[in-house]
Chains A and B, each alone.
Chain A
Amino acid sequence: DAGVTQSPTHLIKTRGQQVTLRCSPKSGHDTVSWYQQALGQGPQFIFQYYEEEERQRGNFPDRFSGHQFPNYSSELNVNALLLGDSALYLCASSLAFREETQYFGPGTRLLVL
């Protein structure tokens, strides 16, 4: 039973560039949430996708956008990268829109120079 997978594991970008991160949910899960974790901090909720639509959003600017595909996998896109976007980006999956237990992937470490 495959858990949550994310790609790539590490990424280096420069300011102003755009980045796309990918996530495949745990088998049987249909809801994907994205989080940003700065060094030494707890994860912060970016947004959540269910049925290919953004259902909930945290306090993040429009530079952060996402997509969910029919197979439930998801992408996180960040435009016009800032130095402050350097963080670990975590994907979590869960079952059904109201299922609270979320299982996390290993994350993508993004460094913006």
Chain B
Amino acid sequence: GESVGLHLPTLSVQEGDNSIINCAYSNSASDYFIWYKQESGKGPQFIIDIRSNMDKRQGQRVTVLLNKTVKHLSLQIAATQPGDSAVYFCAEILPNSGGGADGLTFGKGTHLIIQP
């Protein structure tokens, strides 16, 4: 079954407000998480990542929070702009028993809509 999922398929926010996109994962062994942004007709674009030994990481206007107790991941976007409109995916990587990296496991995505 799918290990990574999202709470809401669509999120509508006012321009200038903060956005919070949530993600739940089921495998406690996952040790690396990435948020991607995908605009229509384009490939996923890397936003920010976090390892399981961290609970918070900040980038430019974005913050990722990881709560390992409840296996929850969130992406916070500050001062949302029209250019932030896209589908946002969280993805995880499970440790590979062979010592290598597995492919990313993606959730279905959240469509972020910015209201003027």
Which partner residue on chain A sits nearest B45 by CB separation? Answer: A104
A interface, size bucket: 20 to 34
Question: A37 → chain B, closest Cβ, in Å?
Answer: 8
Q: Is A73 an interface residue (CB 8 A)?
A: no
A90 with B100: CB separation less than 8 A: no
Q: How far is the CA of A45 from the CA of B101 in the complex (A)?
A: 12
A35 with B34: CB separation less than 8 A: no
B89 with A100: CB separation less than 8 A: no
Question: A88 → chain B, closest Cβ, in Å?
Answer: 8
A101 with B42: CB separation less than 8 A: no
Q: How far is the CA of A94 from the CA of B100 in the complex (A)?
A: 13
Q: Contact residues of A with B, CB < 8 Å?
A: 4, 33, 35, 40-48, 50, 55-56, 58, 90, 92, 94, 97-107
20 A–B contacts, CB within 8 A, in A order:
A4-B43, A35-B103, A35-B104, A42-B91, A42-B106, A42-B107, A42-B109, A43-B44, A45-B103, A45-B105, A50-B100, A94-B101, A98-B99, A98-B100, A100-B32, A101-B46, A102-B34, A104-B45, A104-B46, A106-B42
